[in-house]
Amino acid sequence: MLHVLDVRFSSALTTLLFLAVAAEEGSALVSSTQLAERLGTNPSLVRKMVASLAKEGLVESVMGRTGGTRLARTPQDIPLTEVYLCAVGDKPLWTCRPEGEHEYRVSTRAAAYFERLTERAEQAVLRTLGDQTLADALHEMRCSEHSQPEPRK
């Protein structure tokens, strides 16, 4: 069985990093087409993600032919917890397998255990992200640029 990894948080964070760098480089707005090219996806998916980020006050969008998106706050004022919660909503970190027949002691208790385990893991993720801002992510990204070879084009 093939499982698709959820890339919503990664996509949202990468989008915000692109916008932060663009702002530093003097670009006032970045179009959904530009973001889509950088993310390797289509502009309509980017617009949908940007709409969620805008609803939460993380970005601002300007409509029209010369419009685009920019950060609504400074990178120091954007906690990664907000980005994560905006991106994934109320979707759990993991999903428990569907419950089957309850003829075994293990299967009757596994779902409840897994639910508690998932809750603890989600709380750990939120604590870790709560200690980080977009500025921290940008700084760490830049530090790793110096320690890794440039990607091939």
Q: Residue 68 — φ and ψ, nearest 5°?
A: 165, -160
Confidence of residue 13 (pLDDT cuts 50, 70, 90): very high
DSSP secondary structure letter of residue 98 = P
Q: What letter represents residue 89's amino acid?
A: G
Give CA 7 to chain center in angstroms: 7
CA 44/CA 36 separation, integer angstroms: 8
Residue 90: predicted pLDDT: 79
The tens digit of pLDDT for each residue in 89-112 reads 878 777 776 665 555 667 667 778
The tens digit of pLDDT for each residue in 104-148 reads 667 667 778 888 898 899 999 999 999 999 999 999 988 887 766
CA 18/CA 34 separation, integer angstroms: 10
The model's pTM: 0.81
